Amino acid sequence: MPAPLIEPVARLIESLSRLPGIGPKTAQRLTYHLLRAPETEARALAAALIAVREQVVFCERCFNISEQAVCGICSDPGRDISRLCVVEEPLDVLALERTGEFKGLYHVLHGAISPIDGVGPERLKIRQLLERAEEAQLAGERFEEVVIATNPTLEGEATAMYLAERLASLVGSVTRIARGLPVGGDLEYADEVTLIRSLQGRRAI
């Protein structure tokens, strides 16, 4: 019969295994890594976790992560306030910002509509998005374009359709990010939906 884990080790393994993408085995490996690591590394990790909870908030306008009530993007006077990009998660904002292509504002939904998982529109930041669009319209500064940049999944597509229907009367236009083959990808490995989207989004060269 294997010896039971001592309580602090078992508690850390259980806590780590609750994180997305980390199963029991990975949680065990991470725990034993921290046990073998220098004390400074473990303390640095603990301090970083505490700092995230104490110092990071969600922007009151776009719901992206921020250190202030209003994030740096929303408070930047150089951004194009006539364009808004809607994404599922804060990490999506980081990905889009790395491209340097989009100069407008963002709105983070914090998920996608998924009836199977019990996630309806009321559990996302959709009401706040619609209120934001309505307030901009009433102020005479309506969004000329809202880009729906949810993920190309069933949940992302359902969310995009839901948003497009409700935003149509509040903004100039609602667009969807293009979907197609990734650079370096092979046609033979692409799924049918990706190939269809690639053909539909073709353009002159």
Q: Note the pLDDT tens digit of each residue in 20-66.
A: 899 999 999 999 999 999 999 999 999 999 999 999 999 999 999 99
- pLDDT average, residue stretch 138-157: 92
For residues 84 and 165, membership in a common domain is answered with: yes
Range of the domain at 21: 7-55
For residues 103 and 135, membership in a common domain is answered with: yes
Q: Kindly report the CATH number assigned to the domain that includes residue 18.
A: 1.10.8.420
* Interacting residues of 153 by C-beta distance below 8 A, sequence separation 6+: 112
For residues 166 and 114, membership in a common domain is answered with: yes
Q: How confident is the model at residue 204 (pLDDT cuts 50, 70, 90)?
A: low
- Answer yes or no: is pLDDT of 93 > 70: yes
Per-residue CA distances from 56 to 53, 112, 146, 198 (Å): 6, 22, 27, 39
- Answer yes or no: is pLDDT of 179 > 90: no
Contact 151, 121 (CB under 8 A): no
pLDDT at res. 205:
56
If one compares 183 and 20, the residue with the highest pLDDT of the two is 20
Q: Kindly report the CATH number assigned to the domain that includes residue 172.
A: 3.40.1360.10
Pairing between β-strand 80-87 and β-strand 145-148 as defined by DSSP bridges:
parallel
- How many domains, the chain? 2
pLDDT at res. 104:
96
